[in-house]
Chain A
Amino acid sequence: EAGVAQSPRYKIIEKRQSVAFWCNPISGHATLYWYQQILGQGPKLLIQFQNNGVVDDSQLPKDRFSAERLKGVDSTLKIQPAKLEDSAVYLCASSLASNSPLHFGNGTRLTVT
């Protein structure tokens, strides 16, 4: 089966600019996750979707981050405006349902200068 697709793989922007990441989950996976992984740390959940509804966005900095999954399939994560501390790898993952194994994409490495 095709894995979780993410783009772009790398992005370099200046602080205060905006950026968007795209994710296409494994076909049939109802649950989609966006994680932020800062160098040397474990993935931190930003937002979790069940189909096109938000299950948990308690750790999403909503003043600058937004995410959507309009048709219950692919998803976009946006940062506007970016800060230096947003430099991280943004991982998208999907699972067949909640409480089942997550499959990660290759991530987008964001560098904010």
Chain B
Amino acid sequence: GENVEQHPSTLSVQEGDSAVIKCTYSDSASNYFPWYKQELGKRPQLIIDIRSNVGEKKDQRIAVTLNKTAKHFSLHITETQPEDSAVYFCAVWANSGYSTLTFGKGTMLLVSP
């Protein structure tokens, strides 16, 4: 099955700094890569996603980049704000064998004022 590695496990930044979270995957047939934000005690919510035919996607302060050759993708948050503090999960949709969404272990982002 798909193996998803996410780094770092925790990330502390000052308000206004940028934050980058990286994920690697194993199945070259994977074709859909969403990112979820989960605040304490709440459900995961989709913040941005990218498909394998696109290299980069932006939505205001959030961007995702995909390197299919190296099998990794990254979440970039610019001008971080305290409300960005949460756990972020990357996920990978494999497209071979069983088609399921596999999650990384998460990155706890703490943005200090």
Q: Complex formed: what's the CA distance from A89 to B98 in Å?
A: 24
Contacts A42-B106, A56-B98; is A99 near B45 (CB within 8 Å)? no
Q: Complex formed: what's the CA distance from A104 to B93 in Å?
A: 16
Q: Complex formed: what's the CA distance from A4 to B49 in Å?
A: 20
Contact of A98 with B by CB under 8 A: yes
Residue from A58, A91, A99 in contact with B95 in the complex, judged by beta carbons closer than 8 Å? A99
Whether the pair B106, A101 counts as a contact (CB closer than 8 A) is no
Question: Most chain-B CB neighbours within 10 Å: which of A43, A98, A101?
Answer: A43
Contacts A91-B43, A104-B45, A107-B43; is A45 near B100 (CB within 8 Å)? yes
Instruction: Count residues of chain B with CB under 8 A from any CB of chain A.
Output: 23
Chain A residues with Cβ below 8 Å from B103 are 35, 42-44
Whether the pair A104, B44 counts as a contact (CB closer than 8 A) is yes
- The smallest C-beta distance from B80 to any residue of chain A, in angstroms, reads 22
Chain B residues with Cβ below 8 Å from A55 are 98-100
Contacts A42-B106, A58-B98; is A105 near B43 (CB within 8 Å)? yes
The closest CB in chain B to the CB of A56 belongs to B98
- The smallest C-beta distance from B51 to any residue of chain A, in angstroms, reads 9
Main secondary structure, interface of A, reads loop
Q: Complex formed: what's the CA distance from A103 to B44 in Å?
A: 8
Whether the pair B106, A48 counts as a contact (CB closer than 8 A) is no
The closest CB in chain B to the CB of A47 belongs to B100
Whether the pair B95, A106 counts as a contact (CB closer than 8 A) is no
Chain B residues with Cβ below 8 Å from A103 are 46
Residue from A43, A56, A98 in contact with B89 in the complex, judged by beta carbons closer than 8 Å? A43
- The smallest C-beta distance from B24 to any residue of chain A, in angstroms, reads 14
Interface residues of B in 76-95 (CB under 8 A from A): 89, 93, 95
Q: Complex formed: what's the CA distance from A33 to B93 in Å?
A: 13
A-B contact pairs, 10 of them (CB 8 A): A35-B103, A42-B89, A42-B104, A45-B101, A45-B102, A58-B98, A91-B43, A101-B49, A102-B46, A104-B43
